[in-house]
């Protein structure tokens, strides 16, 4: 497991390393300042950041920018700030650790964070796929309607035309349908 701890205080990195003793292979790296290039080279499985680190904005934006390859983020939160941790989780932090954590719990917290992150990431990808599927189905419906109207076909026959086009060109049926709808627009003069 590769862990990057971004914290001005080296003590918490030591705590993380202690709590993960026995995990093989293990590499815990401490940085008082977050360096994007070094972090990319290191390729951590999880990033641990103190809530009072000025690098929080950078790490958060990185999560947005690298949506294709995001990392779970665990945050150390000061006990006195009630509710802050929950808000941070809403904002995309995978889990939080309240100050004063014992080394004994570090491993379970990081493991929960990583599995929760995988779950959320999976859900997000499913959602995006569902949205794309829905959009594609709507386009196929529009292309079918167009074929039925312009060529006087039955619904079943219109679908077969689309499916054949898809198979002949080796492209998804949604893409073929989108082209058809777009070209029809151009022919009618909507596209220029």
List residues binding other proteins (CB under 8 A): 33, 35-37, 51-58, 60-62, 64, 81-84, 86-88, 90-92
Nearer Cβ to other proteins (88/143): 88
**Helical H runs in the chain?**
10-19, 36-42, 56-65, 84-90, 103-151, 155-169, 173-187
Nearest approach, Cβ of residue 180 and other proteins (Å): 24
Other C-beta atoms within 10 Å of 17: how many? 19
Task: Tell me if the bond preceding 25 is cis, omega within 30° of 0.
Answer: yes
Residues 6+ apart with CB under 8 A from 39: 4, 31, 47
Nearer Cβ to other proteins (37/104): 37
Nearest approach, Cβ of residue 152 and other proteins (Å): 37
Kindly tell me the burial class for residue 192, based on how many C-beta atoms sit within 10 Å of its own C-beta (0-12, 13-18, 19 or more).
exposed
Nearest approach, Cβ of residue 158 and other proteins (Å): 32
Nearer Cβ to other proteins (12/144): 12
Nearer Cβ to other proteins (49/143): 49
Nearest approach, Cβ of residue 135 and other proteins (Å): 17
């Amino acid at each position: 497991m590769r862990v990057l701890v971004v914290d001005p205080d080296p003590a918490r990195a030591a705590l993380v390393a202690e709590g993960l003793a026995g995990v093989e292979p293990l590499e815990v790296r401490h940085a008082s300042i977050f360096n994007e290039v070094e972090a990319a080279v290191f390729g951590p499985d999880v990033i641990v950041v103190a809530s009072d680190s000025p690098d929080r904005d950078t790490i958060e934006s990185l999560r947005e920018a690298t949506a294709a390859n995001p990392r779970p983020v665990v945050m150390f939160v000061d006990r006195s700030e009630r509710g802050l941790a929950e808000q941070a989780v809403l904002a995309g932090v995978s889990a939080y650790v309240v100050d004063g954590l014992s080394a004994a719990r570090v491993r379970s917290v990081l493991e929960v964070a990583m599995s929760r992150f995988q779950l959320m990431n999976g859900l997000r990808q499913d959602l995006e796929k569902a949205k794309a599927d829905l959009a594609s189905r709507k386009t196929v419906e529009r292309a079918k309607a167009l074929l039925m109207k312009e060529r006087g076909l039955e619904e079943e026959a219109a679908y077969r035309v689309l499916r054949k086009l898809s198979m002949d060109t080796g492209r998804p049926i949604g893409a073929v349908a989108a082209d058809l709808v777009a070209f029809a627009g151009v022919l009618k003069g909507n596209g220029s």
